[in-house]
Chain A
Amino acid sequence: MRGAPETMTVLRPKSAKEAVSLYAQDTGAMPLAGGTDFMVLWNIGLFNNRKILDLSGVRDWRKISATRTSVVIGALATHAEIRRHPLILKEFPLLAEACATIGAAQIQNRGTLGGNIANASPAGDTFPPLLVYEAVVHLVSARGKRELPISEVFAGVKRTTLLKGELIESVELPSLGKRPTRQIFRKVGMRLAQAISKTAAAGLLTLGKGGVVEDFRFSFGSIAQTAVRLTEAESLVVGKKLAPSVIDEACRLMERNVSPIDDIRSTREYRLEVSRNILRRFLEGNRT
């Protein structure tokens, strides 16, 4: 089967208000942003006879702007726009790095942050940085607005906790009080570009007086049903010095939060080992 354009109906709102009200009347409509996930499936005929809510005309949702305490990224901002935006590069470089690894130029020029989140692939590469930055997702529907921490957005493989009629409006990144002492984004794939992640990691570490860890946040994508924070390892490390025994224990605790699978790209063991090494080197302070 192939996508059959004549079977499709397209709604084309020009404002956020119009988008929300059209979606409320027709919650079965499928939102469309950059189409880099949706159109691949449409092309093979999976979504014929559907109604499409084309969000691309909602200009307000493209903006990236600063508030006094955060940076707000519109849901329709593309990976290309995010990876080169001065505010993101300065304050949230791990997200810029992640967006720079998504597909290649053609995908980055179309794919959006909102689409990446709504699609909720276990291998979504923006999720590890969004988790360590404790991003807040702003949702909107005809019933009003709602804010959801990124850690509560994913419900499983390709499933989110968005309610009927809800759209992602923007993603807010709260400013970090202090510049982290160390930070990392690492994606391990089959090849350098345009590869699905086998594992992807983002981490921040802030050291205080006498080398005591003040803040430690670490997150992995692609090695569980959804991207996850290493909550257990994090709470172990905070307040301690990075002694070898602490690092060993943190690496052991990692497995409490992740559950990699065997698939066509790699085995469970390989994913665990690579991920553990990324974590260990980061804690030891070695650049990978």
Chain B
Amino acid sequence: MKLKVNGKTRTFSGSPFKRLIEALREDFGLTGTKEGCGEGECGACTVLVDGEAVNSCLIPICQVEGRSIQTVESLGEPGKLSALQEAFMARGGAQCGICTPGMLMTAYAWIKGGGSSDRAAIRECLAGNLCRCTGYQHIVDSVAQAMKGSKKEKRK
């Protein structure tokens, strides 16, 4: 079966019930996506399917045949980070880093979907992503800063 991963068409020939998170990590070598709980609670495994944030630990790969997957690797790379990643660095949005790929992808989907930059709204958007290090404040600050930045860019 074929699917798009980070813009490239890829072929998968393993078991159709392999979970998306495992296919990404093992078959496509994309280890940015982390598994925390495997129960849909923590959001560490969040990726985008056709632009929507989903838990890749709860999806058998057969259900994303022909769809477009985006993982944290698509956001940027060292030296060429996205505004959102820069903001996480600047505002202390990441400590141990386990939750970070999921936080970034959930926030990214929110921003692209035209979500509000209101702090309460950002908190609600991140409700499915748990972090045991930061206490969330710095993460909300990071997302808010990235959103402020992108508004400024648009105005220019």
Nearest neighbor of A104 in chain B, beta-carbon distance: B128
Q: Taking the complex as formed, is A3 at the interface, i.e. its CB lies under 8 A from any CB of chain B?
A: yes
CB of B60 within 8 A of CB of A5, answer yes
Interface residues of B in 80-103 (CB under 8 A from A): none
CB of A106 within 8 A of CB of B40, answer yes
Contact mask for chain B residues 7-23; partner A; CB cutoff 8 A; 1 contact, 0 none? 00000001111110000
Q: Taking the complex as formed, is A110 at the interface, i.e. its CB lies under 8 A from any CB of chain B?
A: yes
Q: Taking the complex as formed, is B141 at the interface, i.e. its CB lies under 8 A from any CB of chain A?
A: no
Question: Could you say which of A10, A103, A193 contacts B17, with CB atoms under 8 Å apart?
Answer: A10
Question: Could you say which of A6, A10, A35, A54 contacts B58, with CB atoms under 8 Å apart?
Answer: A35
Q: Taking the complex as formed, is B143 at the interface, i.e. its CB lies under 8 A from any CB of chain A?
A: no
Complex Cα gap A6–B40 (Å): 22
Nearest neighbor of B16 in chain A, beta-carbon distance: A10
Question: Could you say which of B18, B62, B126 contacts A12, with CB atoms under 8 Å apart?
Answer: B62
Complex Cα gap A109–B18 (Å): 20
CB of A54 within 8 A of CB of B53, answer no
A104 with B127, Cβ < 8 A, contacts A36-B58, A43-B57, A109-B53 known: yes
Complex Cα gap A40–B55 (Å): 11
CB of B128 within 8 A of CB of A36, answer no
Interface bin, chain A = 20 to 34
CB of B52 within 8 A of CB of A5, answer no
**Which residues of the partner chain B approach A107 to less than 8 Å between Cβ atoms?**
40, 55, 128
CB of A106 within 8 A of CB of B38, answer no
Contact mask for chain A residues 74-115; partner B; CB cutoff 8 A; 1 contact, 0 none? 000000100000000000000000000001111101100000
Contact mask for chain A residues 191-205; partner B; CB cutoff 8 A; 1 contact, 0 none? 011100000000000
Nearest neighbor of A10 in chain B, beta-carbon distance: B16
**Which residues of the partner chain A approach B110 to less than 8 Å between Cβ atoms?**
105
**Which residues of the partner chain A approach B125 to less than 8 Å between Cβ atoms?**
105
Interface bin, chain B = 20 to 34
Q: Taking the complex as formed, is B46 at the interface, i.e. its CB lies under 8 A from any CB of chain A?
A: yes
Complex Cα gap A182–B51 (Å): 37
Q: Taking the complex as formed, is B109 at the interface, i.e. its CB lies under 8 A from any CB of chain A?
A: yes
Q: Taking the complex as formed, is A52 at the interface, i.e. its CB lies under 8 A from any CB of chain B?
A: yes
Q: Taking the complex as formed, is B124 at the interface, i.e. its CB lies under 8 A from any CB of chain A?
A: yes
Complex Cα gap A80–B110 (Å): 13
CB of B17 within 8 A of CB of A52, answer yes
Contact mask for chain A residues 1-15; partner B; CB cutoff 8 A; 1 contact, 0 none? 001011010101000
Question: Could you say which of B19, B40, B127 contacts A36, with CB atoms under 8 Å apart?
Answer: B40
Q: Taking the complex as formed, is A175 at the interface, i.e. its CB lies under 8 A from any CB of chain B?
A: no
CB of A103 within 8 A of CB of B128, answer yes
Complex Cα gap A107–B55 (Å): 7
Distance from A88 Cβ to chain B, minimum over Cβ atoms (Å): 18
**Which residues of the partner chain A approach B16 to less than 8 Å between Cβ atoms?**
5, 8, 10, 12
**Which residues of the partner chain A approach B18 to less than 8 Å between Cβ atoms?**
5
Known: A6-B15, A10-B16, A32-B63. 10 other contacts (CB 8 A): A5-B14, A5-B16, A5-B18, A5-B60, A10-B17, A12-B16, A39-B59, A40-B40, A43-B38, A106-B46
30 contacts between A and B (CB under 8 A): A3-B19, A5-B15, A5-B17, A5-B19, A5-B60, A8-B60, A10-B17, A32-B60, A36-B40, A39-B57, A39-B59, A43-B38, A43-B58, A54-B60, A80-B52, A104-B43, A104-B129, A105-B109, A105-B110, A105-B125, A105-B127, A106-B40, A106-B46, A106-B106, A106-B128, A107-B40, A107-B55, A110-B54, A192-B127, A194-B128
Q: Which 6 interchain pairs have the tightest Cβ spacing?
A: A104-B128, A193-B127, A5-B15, A8-B17, A39-B58, A104-B127
